[in-house]
């Protein structure tokens, strides 16, 4: 599956690398860090894409230094235009390599793309103190009943693993993490450029979420999981 990102197939299908979603994602990350009073000085993002999330975070944490890593040359080429003092990007995979000690490591919408996701998550643990994971919760009753949403994610954006809240948290715990905080993010309700089907079901998703958040996510989907761990 790595060839999809290294060879350019993903870039052809997703030429913006979802940079338009970065402002929203950065707000979610900044929020959970602020709520837990996490000191932000050296931040690494693994699978940074165009680097726009780090650019947005730099606006929230102007004294911090940010490092973005990606294995895709197409992504790093786009990220190069975002290099500035305090923000650096590397065509590299830092997992398993010495010399990395960040206070915050960000992994936003990456785990579901990685073939050996257990090995990947364990490798991230050694890179720094605090980790922020953002994981799409693709599995819900409606997505399984229809199935085509899951298969479209596989074909279009390379999701090869699919999670619920419980399986995502179990993965992190199985890999030795302590879960410090977690929350749902309304990815299919608040991100731009949503499909018509997502817009139609947005109202029942919001209403049901207010009544019973866990049940709403399990039945109707449309949410992701944001986790602060160490």
In a domain, 31, yes or no: yes
Check: CB of residue 211 under 8 Å from CB of residue 196: no
Q: How confident is the model at residue 1 (pLDDT cuts 50, 70, 90)?
A: low
For the chain, the average pLDDT equals 94
In a domain, 171, yes or no: yes
In a domain, 107, yes or no: yes
Determine the pLDDT at residue 191.
Answer: 76
* Lookup: tokens for 99: 């010399």
Q: How confident is the model at residue 84 (pLDDT cuts 50, 70, 90)?
A: very high
Say which CATH number the domain at 114 has.
3.40.50.150
In a domain, 202, yes or no: no
In a domain, 213, yes or no: no
In a domain, 63, yes or no: yes
Quote the pTM value: 0.93
Q: For residue range 170-183, list pLDDT tens digits in order.
A: 999 999 999 999 99
Query: What is the percent of the chain where pLDDT is above 90?
Result: 82
Q: For the chain, how many structural domains are there in total?
A: 1
- Domain membership of residue 84 as a residue range: 2-188+223-229
In a domain, 77, yes or no: yes
Confidence check: pLDDT of 193 > 80: no
In a domain, 164, yes or no: yes
Q: For residue range 44-79, list pLDDT tens digits in order.
A: 999 999 999 999 999 999 999 999 999 999 999 999
């Amino acid at each position: 599956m790595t060839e999809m990102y290294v060879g350019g197939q993903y870039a052809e299908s997703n030429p913006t690398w979802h940079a338009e979603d970065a402002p929203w994602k950065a707000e979610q990350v900044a929020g959970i860090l602020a709520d837990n009073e996490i000191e932000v000085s050296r931040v690494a993002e693994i699978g940074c894409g165009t680097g726009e999330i780090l650019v947005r975070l730099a606006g929230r944490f102007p004294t911090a230094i940010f490092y973005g890593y990606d294995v895709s040359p197409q992504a790093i080429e786009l990220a190069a235009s975002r290099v500035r003092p305090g923000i650096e990007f590397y065509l590299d995979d830092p997992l398993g390599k010495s010399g990395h000690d960040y206070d915050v490591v960000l992994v936003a919408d990456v785990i579901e793309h990685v073939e050996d996701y257990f090995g990947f998550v364990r490798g991230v643990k050694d890179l720094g103190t605090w980790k922020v994971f953002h994981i799409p919760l693709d599995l819900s009753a409606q997505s399984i009943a229809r199935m085509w949403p899951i298969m479209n994610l596989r074909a279009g954006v390379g999701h090869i693993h699919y999670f619920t809240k419980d399986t995502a948290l179990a993965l992190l715990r199985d890999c030795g993490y302590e879960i410090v905080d977690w929350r749902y993010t309304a990815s299919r309700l608040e991100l731009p450029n949503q499909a018509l089907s997502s817009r139609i079901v947005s109202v029942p998703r919001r209403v049901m979420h207010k009544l019973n958040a866990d049940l709403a996510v399990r039945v109707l989907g449309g949410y992701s999981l944001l986790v602060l761990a160490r």
